[in-house]
Amino acid sequence: MNAIEFRKVTKKFGGFTANRDLSFTVKKGSIHGLIGENGAGKSTAMKVLFGIHPADSGEILIEDRVVRITNPVHAMRMGIGMVHQHFMLAGPETVLDNIILGHEPGRVFVGRARAEAELRAIAKTYGLDFDRWDRPVSELSVGEQQRVEILKLLYQKSKVLILDEPTAVLTPQEVKDLFGNLVRLKEEGKTIILISHKLKEVLGYCDEITVIRRGETVGSRKASETDDSELARMMVGRDVSFTYQGERKVFANMSDAKPVVRVSRLSITSTTEPLREVSFELKPGEILGVAGVQGNGQSTLLRALSHPSLHAKNWSGEYLLNGRDQSGSDPIVLRNAGVGLVPEDRLSEGLLLNQDMTENFLLGQHEDPRYSKGGFLLRTKARAVTESKIKEFDIRPPYPTVWTGRMSGGNQQKLVIARALDPGPSVLYVAHPTRGVDVGAIEKIHDAIVQERNRGKAILLFSSELDELMDLCDRMLVFYNGGIRAEFARPDFDPWAIGRVMGGGDR
Ligand X SMILES: Nc1ncnc2c1ncn2[C@@H]1O[C@H](COP(=O)(O)OP(=O)(O)OP(=O)(O)O)[C@@H](O)[C@H]1O
Q: For the chain, what is the total number of helices (H) and then of strands (E)?
A: 16, 22
Distance CA 255, CA 483 (A): 24
Is 41 one of the binding residues for ligand X (CB under 6 A)? yes
Closest-by-Cβ residue to ligand X is 410
Fill in the DSSP letter of residue 219: E
Evaluated on CA atoms 102, 106, 107, 108, the torsion sign reads positive
Nearest to 258 by CA among 239, 285, 284, 225: 284
Give the nearer residue to ligand X in terms of CB position, either 303 or 435.
435
Say if CB 411 and CB 346 are below 8 A apart.
no
Which amino acid would we find at residue 71? N
Burial of 396-410, coded b for 16+ CB within 10 Å and e otherwise, reads bbeebebebeebbbb
Cβ-based nearer residue to ligand X, 357 or 484: 357
Does residue 414 interact with ligand X by CB under 6 A?
Answer: no
- Give DSSP secondary structure letters for 441-462: HHHHHHHHHHHHHHTT-EEEEE
The overall longest dimension of the chain from CA atoms, in Å, is 74
Q: Within 13 Å, how many C-alpha atoms sit on residue 147's CB side?
A: 28
Q: In DSSP terms, which residues pair with 486 in a beta bridge?
A: 478
Q: Which of residues 98, 158, 411, 464 is near ligand X by CB under 6 A?
A: 411
Contact partner, 81, from ligand X, Mg ion, none, Cβ < 5-8 Å per class: none
Contacting residue, 40, 199, 278, 449, with ligand X by CB under 6 A: 40
How far is residue 362's CA from residue 357's CA, in Å, rounded to a whole number? 9
Give the residue, chosen from 147, 396, 419, 432, that forms a contact with ligand X under the rule CB under 6 A: 396
Strand partners, 79: none
Q: In whole angstroms, how close is the CB of 50 to ligand X at the nearest point? A: 12
Q: How far is CA 46 from CA 11, 191, 368, in A?
A: 11, 14, 41
**Interface pick for ligand X out of 406, 444, 475, 490 (rule CB under 6 A):** 406
Instruction: Write down the least CB distance from residue 164 to ligand X, Å.
Output: 7
Handedness of CA 426, 454, 257, 478 (dihedral sign): positive
Q: Given the DSSP bridges, would you call strands 483-489 and 475-480 parallel, antiparallel or unpaired?
A: antiparallel
Minimum CB distance to ligand X, residue 171 (Å): 21
Question: CB of residue 411 vs ligand X: minimum separation in angstroms?
Answer: 5
| CA atoms within 13 Å, Cβ hemisphere of 211 | 24
Least Å distance, CB 411 to Mg ion, is 9
Phi, psi of 489 (to 5 degrees): -120, 145
Contact segment (CB under 6 A) with ligand X among 12-20, 76-84, 363-371, 459-467 equals: 12-20
Residue number with CB closer to Mg ion (41 or 433): 41
39 near ligand X, rule: CB under 6 A: yes
Which CB atom, from 182 or from 437, has the smaller least distance to Mg ion? 437
Q: Provide, rounded to whole angstroms, the least separation between the CB of residue 399 and ligand X.
A: 10
Burial class of 347 by CB neighbour count within 10 A (0 to 12, 13 to 18, 19+): middle
DSSP code, position 106: T
The region of 40-48, 127-135, 289-297, 489-497 touching ligand X under the rule CB under 6 A is 40-48
Cβ closest to ligand X, residue 414 vs residue 453:
414
Which positions from 29 to 68 touch Mg ion by CB under 5 A, shown as an x/- string? Answer: --------------x-------------------------
Choices 82-90, 98-106, 236-244, 298-306; region in contact with Mg ion by CB under 5 A: 82-90
Q: Pattern 68-87, binding to ligand X, x per CB under 6 A?
A: -----------------x--
* Contacted by 358, from ligand X, Mg ion, none: CB < 5 to 8 Å by type: none
Name, in order, each residue with C-beta under 8 angstroms of 409's C-beta and a sequence gap of 6 or more.
38, 43, 85, 86, 165, 436
Does the protein bind ligand X through residue 145 (CB under 6 A)?
Answer: no
From 402, 378, 400, 379, select the one nearest 389 (Cα to Cα): 400
Round to whole Å and give the CA distance between 80 and 44.
Answer: 15
Site membership for ligand X, residue 350 (CB under 6 A): no
Binding flag, residue 300, Mg ion (CB under 5 A): no
- Tell me if 360 contacts ligand X by CB under 6 A: no
Q: Shortest Cβ distance from residue 20 to ligand X (Å)?
A: 11
- Residue 44 binding partner per list ligand X, Mg ion, none, with a CB distance cut-off of 5 to 8 Å that depends on partner kind: ligand X
Q: Count of CB atoms within 10 A of residue 370's CB?
A: 13
Given the rule CB under 6 A, which of 319-327, 407-415, 444-452, 483-491 is the region that contacts ligand X? 407-415
Q: Which amino acid is at 156?
A: Q
Binding partner of residue 411 among ligand X, Mg ion, none, CB cut-off 5 to 8 Å per kind: ligand X
Residue number with CB closer to ligand X (43 or 329): 43
x/- map, 402-421, Mg ion, by CB under 5 A: ------xx------------
How far is the first Cα of the chain from the last one, in angstroms, to the nearest whole number?
50
Query: What does the binding site for Mg ion look like in residue numbers (CB under 5 A)?
Result: 43, 85, 408-409
Query: What does the binding site for ligand X look like in residue numbers (CB under 6 A)?
Result: 13, 16, 18, 36, 38-44, 85, 396-397, 406-411
